[in-house]
Amino acid sequence: MSASNHRLIVISNRLPVRLRAAPRGWRAEKSSGGLATAMNPILRRGGGEWIGWPGESAKIGDPARQQIIDQWKSADGLVSVEIPPETADHFYEGYSNQTLWPLFHHFPSQLTFDPKGWAAYVAANKLFRDAAVSQYREGDLLWVHDYQLMLLPKLLRESLPDAAVGFFLHIPFPSSEVFRVLPEREELLEGVLGADLVAFQTYTHLQHFRSSLRRVLGFESRLNEVEIGGRTVKLDALPIGIAPQAFTAFLGKTETQRHIESLRQRYQGRKLLLAVDRMDYTKGIPERLRAYRRLLERAPDLRAKVVLLQVAVPSREGISSYATLRRQVNELVGEINGQFATPDWTPVVYIRRGISRAELVALYAVADVAWVTPLRDGMNLVAKEYVACTKDRDGVLILSEFAGAAEEMGEALIVNPYDENRAGAAIQTALALPEAERHRRMAALEEGVVRNNVFAWSEQFLAMLESAAANRGDAPSDRPAALDVARLLAAYQSASRHLLFLDYDGSLVGFHNRPEDASPPPELLAVLKSLAACPNNSVMLLSGRKRTDLDRWFGDVRGLWMGAEHGALLRRADSPDWEPLRPGYSRDWVDRVRPVLQHFVDRTRGSFIEEKEYSLVWHYRMSESKFGDWLAQELVAMLEDMLAETELRAIRGRKIVEVRPGWLHKGSVARRMVELCGPADFQLALGDDRTDEDLFAALDASAWTVHVGAGRSRARFAVPGPAEVLPILERLSDLSRAS
């Protein structure tokens, strides 16, 4: 558990044990999955409670069953969530395992939409909520696990607004292209965002999640956080580890030693290739068997010298695609053995049942090669367990590039499991590796497995969760309060130095279809002149526009500071010249990015590119609104990938997408302006779009930051639209003249 004294409540679909109806009464069976393997040692070490579904819902009410459940609760802190059988089927086998599981592993072809699935999923998540709420005591940390409970963080947030809620996804988060296939995509994302901390196995999964936030919800996030409803949700990649000692401890046991001995004898003179998987189509079992067959065909010298031992633990047997997989694997094993076996050699030894930990550890210890090649996997613990158990660091790990583990286990032989030729060839490479090389790789892998163990993982998660929960409310409220004009005027009047930042389009004037049509009306020019002329004022017009527009319209407003292109260019109050914020900046990227924008112009009638000195802008104000918004989202996603390694950023504004260097934003120029003009005891910033958010963020907390228009903003205050702004400026100017 964490270093602190908070109690931990783990919430996952399954408890680490499950009930099984036995011929006489009931028995409790240990769960075989990765989550149980990971969380068991943590709770055992730190105490706390585990809330989950005990299984066998059809027998709810059976007194003997109930007795076990009661005992679990009092003796082991295991709290059972009773899910009525009808709901359980559609929730677990239906929506969780036939919709979310295939889709999150990029198997849309295995996807089925159970018509009752979603309602059951919602209902089941609510049952977990009820259980958690009934167990919760102030200060507890609630740790929600995995794809079956994606709605739970939000449900908990609604019931327990102050609780620390963390969410960890054990399986991959899919690419946003795949994720958005889900009809309930918004609800799932919003559900997860109820947490204070959302963590994934790898950065790739985290990036996929962020891209779905953008594409599905239109939320912009930073690498490690996203703001929602005035809360900050922390995001992170925390690869899960194992409890190495829970495995190595078995190495010394007599039972394990007996197994090791007998395996050694049985496979003497042969190389043992080991595969251990839940029987699941994501684990790549048929692909492995085919690669093995190909290898035996191509390399006859290997025959009788290798044995593939495949353990496949039955899983989700009620789902038809799993039955199909089982048949397929049976057939392949039969074919390979039929084709190559000799009286004293069986090429594939196939174990289709769970084996004991002692047997498993013995297999890990004697296997010459672990062949871990899932087609897609959140992490894959088998890879780590093998590394922990290899005897004398002699063994080779072959690992699929699509397992989360590949992102941290670079010393393995990394293969593409779909490439059956090369996956087979990797076996040859593994068997030919010199001893010193095997040791070197295994030692490096082992070091990582021991260091990033499951305790380090959970401690990190829980420490982050505590701090995320403690800072949850620090996000600026994203619904600004209506501006109290009288208070603003009073503050202005009582201050001696005034600094005003005014955005132009959308803030001082409304929008026009073509940017060049938005010239300032005379009354606006008049008020700017008057404000800029007052010696106690420094007034900056800070706009995304080109300097030529600003010169043309405001060039003769004396005393006015101007920032063009979001402040890339600065014109001081006392000078007709523009100075660059970053002298010597090269814009040679423009030729690379322009064709991408042009492609969007070609697809969107009425849209066009505006070319500025520091940026390129795609405007789509005149195109069909929904379509334009959708394309803009696509464009930003595409550009973000394309520009990831550069200093350029793609930013959405009001009906525009702008590409410009990351350092260029209104916040930088605002800070520069404060330096140049000196301190002011009254600061006002007015703006309407995302570019103004940087400005608001850069100013002191006491500044009068005002968002023009409806919607979210980090500004403290808001006014309905540009029409309300002019009268306010006029009253400020009256006050200036009067003083």
CA atoms within 13 A on the CB side of 106: 16
Q: Which two tokens stand for residue 490?
A: 């009073």
Determine which one of 503, 688, 689, 694 is catalytic.
Answer: 503
Q: 704 and 490 in contact (C-beta within 8 Å)?
A: no
Q: 65 and 82 in contact (C-beta within 8 Å)?
A: no
Q: Does 503 participate in catalysis according to the annotation?
A: yes
* CA–CA dist 159, 190 (Å, integer): 15
Q: What residues contact residue 356 under an 8 Å CB cut-off, 6+ apart?
A: 255
Q: Which is nearer to ligand GDG, 32 or 598 (CB)?
A: 32
Helix (H) or strand (E) holding 212: helix 203-212
Q: Which is nearer to ligand GDG, 207 or 458 (CB)?
A: 458
CB of 51 to ligand GDG, least distance (A): 18
CB of 385 to ligand GDG, least distance (A): 5
Q: 145 and 152 in contact (C-beta within 8 Å)?
A: no
Q: What is the three-state SS of 459-491?
A: HHHHHHHHHHHHCHHHCCCCCCEECCHHHHHHH
Helix/strand number for the chain, H first, E second:
26, 29
CB of 36 to ligand GDG, least distance (A): 8
CA–CA distances in Å: residue 394 to residues 410, 441, 655: 17, 9, 60
CB of 42 to ligand GDG, least distance (A): 12
CB of 288 to ligand GDG, least distance (A): 14
Q: Which is nearer to ligand GDG, 49 or 377 (CB)?
A: 377
Q: Which is nearer to ligand GDG, 378 or 395 (CB)?
A: 378
* CA–CA dist 458, 466 (Å, integer): 12
Q: What residues contact residue 237 under an 8 Å CB cut-off, 6+ apart?
A: 199, 200, 201, 202, 203, 205, 206
Residue 225 burial (C-beta neighbours within 10 Å; 0-12, 13-18, 19+): middle
CB of 91 to ligand GDG, least distance (A): 18
* CA–CA dist 607, 600 (Å, integer): 8
Q: Which is nearer to ligand GDG, 101 or 340 (CB)?
A: 101
Q: Which two tokens stand for residue 10?
A: 């783990």
The 8 Å CB, 24+ separation contacts for 252-258 are 253/358, 255/356, 255/358, 256/358, 256/359, 256/361, 256/362, 256/365, 257/362
CB of 172 to ligand GDG, least distance (A): 8
Strands 197-200 and 164-168: parallel
CB of 448 to ligand GDG, least distance (A): 15
Q: What residues contact residue 191 under an 8 Å CB cut-off, 6+ apart?
A: 125, 150, 151, 152, 153, 154, 155
* CA–CA dist 370, 390 (Å, integer): 10
Furthest C-alpha separation in the chain: 108
Please say whether the dihedral angle defined by the alpha carbons of residues 476, 478, 484 and 485, taken in this order, is positive or negative: positive
* CA–CA dist 230, 134 (Å, integer): 27
Q: Which is nearer to ligand GDG, 362 or 381 (CB)?
A: 381
Least Cα distance to 501 among 727, 653, 697 occurs for 697
Residue 338 burial (C-beta neighbours within 10 Å; 0-12, 13-18, 19+): exposed
CB of 28 to ligand GDG, least distance (A): 15
Q: Which is nearer to ligand GDG, 118 or 386 (CB)?
A: 386
Q: Which is nearer to ligand GDG, 13 or 691 (CB)?
A: 13
Q: Which is nearer to ligand GDG, 216 or 242 (CB)?
A: 242
CB of 354 to ligand GDG, least distance (A): 4
Residue 271 burial (C-beta neighbours within 10 Å; 0-12, 13-18, 19+): middle
Q: Which is nearer to ligand GDG, 34 or 347 (CB)?
A: 34
Contact residues for ligand GDG, defined by CB under 6 A: 32-35, 37-38, 170-171, 240, 276, 278, 311, 313, 354-355, 357, 360, 377-382, 385
Hey, which residues are catalytic here?
503
